[in-house]
Each structure stands twice: as structure tokens, then as C-alpha cells.
Amino acid sequence: MRPNILFIMTDQLRYDALDESQCKHTPNLDALTSCAVQFTNCATTSPICAPARASLLSGLYPHQMGIWNNNPHTIPPEAKNWVKTLKIQGYRTSVFGKTHYYPYNGSVPDMRDAEPLLKAYGYNDIDEIPGPRVSGSLLSHMTALWQGKGYLDIIRKDLERRYAGKHTCTEPSPLPLSLYPDVYVGTKANEYLNAYDRSEPFFCFVSFGGPHDPWDCPVEYSKRFDSCKMQTPRPCFTDKNPNRPQGVWDEERHHPPLDMQDVEAVRKNYAGKVSLIDEQIGILFETLRKKNLWDDTLIIFTSDHGEMLGDCQRLYKQNFLEPSVHIPLLIKQPYQRTAVQSNALVELLDIGPTIVDFAGTTMDYPMEGISLKGLCEQTQESIRGLQFSEYNQEIMVFDGRWKLVVNKEREPYLLFDLETDPFEQSNVVTLHPDEEARLLKAIETHLQKTEGRGFYYE
């Protein structure tokens, strides 16, 4: 019997946001961890939204798609993907929340007009909303609700004010809790699951826009952390070779030096947003249990990329340090009862092949992603020896110990030994020529192997 599939994604969730060492409140994700496979070494294929999500849908790397950043792009609707495969195999497919499969730059001012595009990607049932930063400027079913309640102009002015000022602004959203975007997504997904009575199994993609900035956590959740002392941000790394080549890391700074009190407030706000999402996830889980669907449902939880949260004096992402590129991944197999931990190197683009494999079918076109089913069932210990992540024509390779980043000219400019330096405090590029040459060759091989393969068309 084919399982129902619930795929939950957050936006900008750090890999360590669910760690017991953190000041957090995530009872529902903790409960999921207790009966799921936890992948401790999952990397995003790109530390920014659009290429990461395109890679997730296509199973391809950013360089194969020509989608290196958030600049205007649209995944070709004729291209094959694994959601289409599920639909062809008889799944009822749905999406609630953010997709970012096409530009969120205003070229489609009303997201409801993009529903034919999402149907072409393979989704039957759709309630799409934009990411948090543009939630007021792009129209959707959610903004229609806001407008009817008199909040659309209020939220637009609030977002404009926030991003014209300090990037560390932490103020509650002016929206009532019931209209907050992550509550909207959770509510719509829950209504759908609660009413679902079709004979075919469901694939339900629930894509929360949080805990991505703005730092506008509703006060009901942020106040939970008023008395918490958040972890101190790690300082920035030291360049052991001050004359190293330059790259995106050196070019992209979004703000003046951060005040540590402001960072503490941002981290508490972020923890509150994670707590709110956890509560929405718990409601979905309770609906599955109420409908006797919990046991035989495949549940996957992950994020598109991480968040710096003041580490190295940075906010947001767009780099290859661990807080930005290392993401959580939990997979609860049908009827799984106990926790399993896997340290295998896995990537965001492995999720599609994994879902298709658990659905009992296979892909009809080549993908770079690899099914994690064998790791989940503990019949395999590893599936790859290297991880790759790509952004803005730069490439990262990680072998489980050494991490190398090359710039657009393919010059190595970041090298970390995570075995001896897990917090990436010493950039030792040029100091370990053998390791550097080995990993540089791995990048060249990766490109040679994959560059001739792009989108496959129906």
C-alpha cells in the first residue's frame, strides 16, 4: 500500500535550531525526531531561496539549471520533475505556502494568476503565498483575506518601514495571530488534510515562510524567550593567509557592524518564530492521528537553507559557512517508532528521489539527487563521498572533514577543517595544498560529470 506523504519545509532554518543545547520550544518537532531518521549532515544545494527550491523540485544542481541566485528565473513548466511523477502515479498533490519556482519580483503581481503554472509543475490543489519580505506586495488568497479585514495597507507600510531602517528591527507583526502568514499556511493545510476523503493517497507540501526575516514574531511566542540567554554568536574566522583570493563572502555584507544586544533580540525573535511553526506542525500531526493516518504517512521535515543569526557579524545567508548551508532533515518512515541518526552526507536535492522511492515508483529521467530510502532502512551507510553547494557562480565541496569554496574564477578562497575547527574559525586556504588540490579536482570532476545534463522535457 502506497503511503500518504506530508512534506514540511521551513525557510531559513538553521541546522542547530532544533538542538537540545539551544534555548528553544519545539515539542512537536522533538516528538517527530523521536520516531524519525535524523540526518546530521544535510547540506542545501544553494544557500539562497530560488536556486535551492528549483534544485529541490528538479533534482538538479543550480549550474545545470542556470539558476544561481534569486534573479528572475522560471522553472520551465515542460521540464520533468518528481511532483509530476507522483501525480502520474496516482497521488493527489497539493501545496500550501511558498514555492519560489518563479520570480517573486512583481512580474506576476497576483500569485493566483500563477496557479496554471503550478498545475503544470504537477500540483492539483494550490494555495500559494510569497515569502515574508514580499508578503504585502504580491497578491494572493492570503492578502485578499488581509484586505477584507483591513490589514493589507497596514502590513505593506510595516514592511516598508522595517526594511528602510535597521536590519535588526524586532517588533511584533501588526497582524492578529490568526492572520500571521505561518498561521495562515498551517491553517489552510490543516483544513485540507482534515477534509481529505479521496481514495488516492495524498502528497501534501506545506511550505512555511518562517523563520525567515522580518523579525516580526507575534508577541505570544517571542515572550517565551524573554528570560532566555541565547547562545553567543561566534566571531568571524581568521584568514591565515591575508592575501588569499576574494569571493562572494567578501563582497556581500548587508548591514553595518551588528550590536550584540540587537543580535540577542533577533535570536529570541527567531526562536519565537520557530516555536510558532512548531505549534502549527503539531496541529497537522494531531489531524493525522485523529484520522488514523499517522502510522502509514511518510513525513519529511527540512529547510531550504540556514541563517547566520549574527555569526561572523552576518545576518541572512548567501555564503557557505555552516549556519547558512547546513540544514535539518528528518524523515519518519511509515510505522517507524524509534529514533535513528545518520551521519551520511546528504543534500536537499535527495528529497525528491526519496519521496518517489517510498511511493513505490521510479523516476523516468536522470537526477543528481539520490534516494535516502536505503539510509532510512539502514541497509546503506552512505550514498556519496562529497557534498556540493552552489551560489552566484561559486561552488562549495565538503568531504565530511574538509570544506573548500572556490570563487567565480575557480580560485580557492575558503578552506576549513571541520574536524579540528567545527565552528570555522580558521580559514587555512593555501596552507594545505594537497587537500586543496584534491578538492579542487573534485569540483572539476563534478562539473564535467554534470554540466551536460540540464532540464529534461516531456
- Domain presence at residue 439: no
Distance CA 337, CA 296 (A): 11
Comparing CA positions, the residue from 132, 129, 72 lying closest to residue 105 is 72
Burial 315-324, CB ≥16 within 10 A → b, else e: bbbbbbbbbb
- Domain presence at residue 322: yes
- Domain presence at residue 429: no
Classify 413 as helix, strand or coil.
Answer: strand
* Alpha carbon distance, N-terminus to C-terminus of the chain: 28
Which pLDDT does position 106 carry in this prediction? 78
Residue located via cell numbers 518537532: 29
Helix 49-58 with 351-358: angle, nearest 10 deg? 30
Classify 411 as helix, strand or coil.
Answer: coil
- Domain presence at residue 449: no
- Domain presence at residue 82: yes
- Domain presence at residue 238: yes
Burial 93-107, CB ≥16 within 10 A → b, else e: bbbbbbbbbbebeee
**Phi, psi for 397 (deg, rounded to 5):** -130, 140
206: enclosing H helix or E strand: strand 202-211
Q: How many CA atoms are closer than 13 Å to the CA of 267, on its beta-carbon side?
A: 25
pTM of the model: 0.96
Comparing CA positions, the residue from 408, 398, 415, 432 lying closest to residue 238 is 415
Q: What is the CATH number of the domain that holds 56?
A: 3.40.720.10
Instruction: Considering only the C-alpha atoms of the chain, give the largest distance between any 2 of them, rounded to a whole number of Å.
Output: 64
C-alpha cell belonging to residue 316: 541572512
Range of the domain at 323: 4-385
32: enclosing H helix or E strand: helix 27-33
CB 51 within 8 A of CB 62: yes
Distance CA 102, CA 120 (A): 13
* Identity at 330, one-letter amino acid code: L
Which pLDDT does position 292 carry in this prediction? 97
CB 152 within 8 A of CB 115: no
What is the number of domains present in the chain? 1
- Domain presence at residue 94: yes
Which pLDDT does position 72 carry in this prediction? 79
Distance CA 338, CA 69 (A): 38
Q: What's the average pLDDT block by block, 10 residues per block, for the chain (458 residues)?
A: 96 91 87 97 97 96 93 89 97 98 87 96 97 92 97 96 89 96 98 97 98 96 90 94 93 77 95 97 98 98 97 94 98 96 98 98 91 97 97 97 98 98 97 97 95 82
- Domain presence at residue 442: no
**Phi, psi for 301 (deg, rounded to 5):** -130, 130
| H helices present in 104-172, as ranges | 115-120, 141-149, 152-164
Comparing CA positions, the residue from 346, 430, 431, 333 lying closest to residue 388 is 346
Classify 145 as helix, strand or coil.
Answer: helix
Give how far Cα 403 sits from Cα of 62, 173, 202, 418, Å.
19, 39, 39, 7
Q: Which residues make Cβ contacts (< 8 Å) with residue 234, sequence separation at least 6?
A: 311, 312, 423, 424, 425
